[in-house]
A and B are shown apart, each in its own frame.
Chain A
Amino acid sequence: NAGVTQTPKFQVLKTGQSMTLQCAQDMNHEYMSWYRQDPGMGLRLIHYSVGAGITDQGEVPNGYNVSRSTTEDFPLRLLSAAPSQTSVYFCASSYSSVRPNYGYTFGSGTRLTVV
């Protein structure tokens, strides 16, 4: 049981490049989300999904796209990387989006540097 798997673990991009951060979970969780973590800022929500085919924006969605074609996968796309997107990105999933009181399972993170 792998839990939440994020790839890659590290990435360096040049300004203007695009890339996709991968997130996969094998727990049949309905709910998946992406957060970014910056020093002194805690975790901020980028996008989230309550089920396959359904996505919504979080607190800081600009510059990012998501899709949820399957229950298992929730990729995060950076359209045109900017230095302000240098951060550590975490994917998290949870059992149910409509029944509360379940904790999140986090991936190990992707450390992204944009130069």
Chain B
Amino acid sequence: SQQGEEDPQALSIQEGENATMNCSYKTSINNLQWYRQNSGRGLVHLILIRSNEREKHSGRLRVTLDTSKKSSSLLITASRAADTASYFCATQNSGNTPLVFGKGTRLSVIA
């Protein structure tokens, strides 16, 4: 069963704009992760945020986590056409439990 649910399902923006995707989940987590999937390819790990962290940065990516609201957001700043992909959040409940993925957000960045 899906733990995380991304919003919106699809997002279309112009190159140079910022893209924000949200993820909500249902139960307590150990960590939350974001992945990117280009069309026809496997998923690529982008960033992991632990339950005791509130914000994390990696290059043009910024992830926030609000455990009281059971939600996370992924911000991509100054988007590029190459950022066009599907983005998935995934949650891990404890040390040795598998990741549970949401259904993803399809991001289109128009040049």
A: residues with CB less than 8 A from B are 4, 31, 33, 35, 40-45, 48, 50, 58-59, 90, 92, 97-109
Give the distance in Å from the alpha carbon of A92 to the alpha carbon of B94 in the complex: 18
Contact B95 A42 (CB under 8 A): no
Partner of B33 from A48, A103, A107 at Cβ < 8 Å: A103
Task: Select from chain B the residue with minimum beta-carbon distance to A56.
Answer: B98
Q: Chain A interface: which of B11-19, B40-48, B64-72?
A: B40-48
B: residues with CB less than 8 A from A are 1-2, 30-31, 33, 35, 41-45, 48, 50, 88, 90, 92, 94-96, 98-104
Contact B42 A45 (CB under 8 A): no
Partner of A45 from B43, B94, B98 at Cβ < 8 Å: B98
Give the distance in Å from the alpha carbon of A43 to the alpha carbon of B6 in the complex: 13
Contact A100 B31 (CB under 8 A): yes
Residues in chain B near residue A50, CB distance under 8 A = 96
Partner of A104 from B43, B94, B95 at Cβ < 8 Å: B43
Give the distance in Å from the alpha carbon of A97 to the alpha carbon of B94 in the complex: 10
